[in-house]
Amino acid sequence: MNLFEIQAKLDNIFNQVIENEGELDESLASELEIAQEELDDKLYAYSFVIDRYSSDIALLKQYKKALDDRIARFEKNQDKLKDAIAEAVYKYGDPVVKKNKDTGLKEETGAYSYKTPVITINVRKTKTVETDNDLYNHFALSVVQHISDNSILDMPNLPQISAFATINITSGLTIPQAAKLREMAANEGILIDDSDIKVKVSNKELKDILDTEPEGLDAWTLGEKDVVTIRK
């Protein structure tokens, strides 16, 4: 086969891979194999297709960046509109009341609502977690270092941190579990590199901790934002 025939065959193989949901089965894999009698032709053709893919990948990355930038702009515009809606509903809307189960009395919830003939808008405040990136990087590095040194139990604020942070080595593990796994792996001669250890923070649990025991967790602070719900 000449260059263009090999290229067409490769395109057909990879189209079938897409149809197979990314799976390269044995029959398709065998078609990619290179026999000695076709070595020169296929090596040249494969290198040609690799170069073509490199060009396509570079172009798609440019498209992706442009799309990501556009999405970011739309999200900012959306947030600005929601901020304007929230300000108006707080100013002109009605407070949302809810019956207290203990007292039986109606109490304001802090949320506000405004109805038009076609839509109902509810606005309420919710807590958010604000992260200082420099302090967070220091925190994550400290966790990894304590795991590497097998000194995780000496880490300050370990009970609070274990409530909202997990370590991903093979899956989500608590910090003590990750330290134990690393120790067990080392005993079996298996090295888990520091770069393979990822610290994952759950903002849901972190919000509760910051609300009650924020001491020592300087990388995060509690913030507040408006949640706008529009019902049509």
Confidence (pLDDT) at 141: 78
51-55, 81-85, 213-217 — which one is most confidently predicted on average?
81-85
Q: Which is nearest to 219 in space by CA: 123, 145, 132, 149?
A: 132
The least confident of 43-52, 82-91, 210-219 is: 210-219
DSSP 6-37: HHHHHHHHHHHHHHTTT---HHHHHHH---GG
Residue 115 reports pLDDT greater than 90? yes
Q: What is the mean pLDDT of the chain?
A: 84
Buried b (16+ CB within 10 A) or exposed e, 66-99: eeeeeeeeeeeeeeeebeebbeebeeebeeeeee
Q: What pLDDT digit, counting tens, does each position of 124-157 carry?
A: 999 998 988 888 888 877 877 777 777 777 777 7
The pLDDT tens digits for 16-25 are 887 777 777 7
Cβ burial of 179 (10 Å; 0-12, 13-18, 19+) is buried
Rg (CA), the chain: 28
Q: Is the pTM of this model over 0.85?
A: no
Highest-confidence segment of 25-39, 54-68, 201-215: 54-68
Torsions phi, psi for 24 (to 5 deg): -100, 100
Q: Is the pLDDT of residue 170 over 60?
A: no
What is the rounded average pLDDT of the residues 47-75? 93
> Given this model, what pLDDT does residue 73 score?
97
The label of the residue with tokens 């296929």 reads: 42
pLDDT at 62: 95
